[in-house]
Chain A
Amino acid sequence: GAVVSQHPSWVICKSGTSVKIECRSLDFQATTMFWYRQFPKQSLMLMATSNEGSKATYEQGVEKDKFLINHASLTLSTLTVTSAHPEDSSFYICSAIRLAGQETQYFGPGTRLLVL
């Protein structure tokens, strides 16, 4: 199946700092990528839809100025958590849909963020 990677796999940062998470589709081009967040013992929650070359579409309740999304190429989307606070500690997961062919959405391995 298609491969989606994320970097870093885990990160610990101090409160008030910004953290950037990368999501890459390794063997296919993706016009659309998605960002999810998952708290312990909960399901994945969709944060935003990222389209290459255009602004991201955020789900209701997600602060666009806090969670900056950039989709600069067909294989890379980044999520920046600005001025992170302990409540932002979570498991962040991205996914991507192939540009052409099947419409299956493939997920990355996730990035665990811990804000101290």
Chain B
Amino acid sequence: DAKTTQPPSMDCAEGRAANLPCNHSTISGNEYVYWYRQIHSQGPQYIIHGLKNNETNEMASLIITEDRKSSTLILPHATLRDTAVYYCIVRAPRGSSASKIIFGSGTRLSIRP
């Protein structure tokens, strides 16, 4: 079973920041938080991941709470091309039986013009 809880859907205005929440209250100390997105009829695309600290790359920012029980993915300036299903995943490091990615239901993000 997936270890994360996400809202089923959200919408955001184009050009605004999209903030996607994720709860992972049972996360273990060595487990990472990964975010992927899936645009319709394509394979999932890696966005970002983190362990404890906040992370930022060219696509997004990841804010992880101090207790690590929740996180927020931030798309700073959403565009229509960001419309997709976003998956928050908790995953153990390689070598662990829990290192495989199990997908939950994700959040369907719609960007409105």
In chain B, positions 33-64 with a C-beta closer than 8 Å to chain A are 34, 36, 38, 41-46, 49
With an 8 Å Cβ cutoff, the count of chain A residues facing the other chain is 24
CB distance from A20 to the nearest CB of B (A): 18
Instruction: Determine whether the beta carbon of B102 is less than 8 Å from that of A106.
Output: no
Instruction: Tell me whether A34 and B100 are in contact in the complex, defined as CB-CB below 8 angstroms, given that A43-B106, A105-B46, A109-B43 are known contacts.
Output: yes
Report B70 CB to chain A, min CB distance, Å. 20
Q: Chain B CB within 10 Å — which of A44, A91, A108 has the most?
A: A44
| Structural contact, A97 and B41, CB atoms closer than 8 A | no
Q: How many residues of B contact A (CB 8 A)?
A: 21
Distance in angstroms between the alpha carbons of A3 and B46 in the assembled complex:
11
Q: Max chain B CB contacts within 10 Å: which of A6, A45, A91, A105?
A: A105
Q: Which of A70-106 contact B (CB under 8 A)?
A: 91, 93, 95, 97, 103-106
Whether B105 lies near A110 (C-beta < 8 A) is no
**Do A93 and B43 have beta carbons less than 8 Å apart?**
yes
CB <8 Å contact, A97 and B103: no
Q: Are B93 and A46 in contact (CB under 8 A)?
A: no
Query: Known contacts A49-B100, A103-B99; is A97 also within 8 Å of B44 by CB?
Result: no
Contact B46–A103 (Cβ < 8 Å)? no
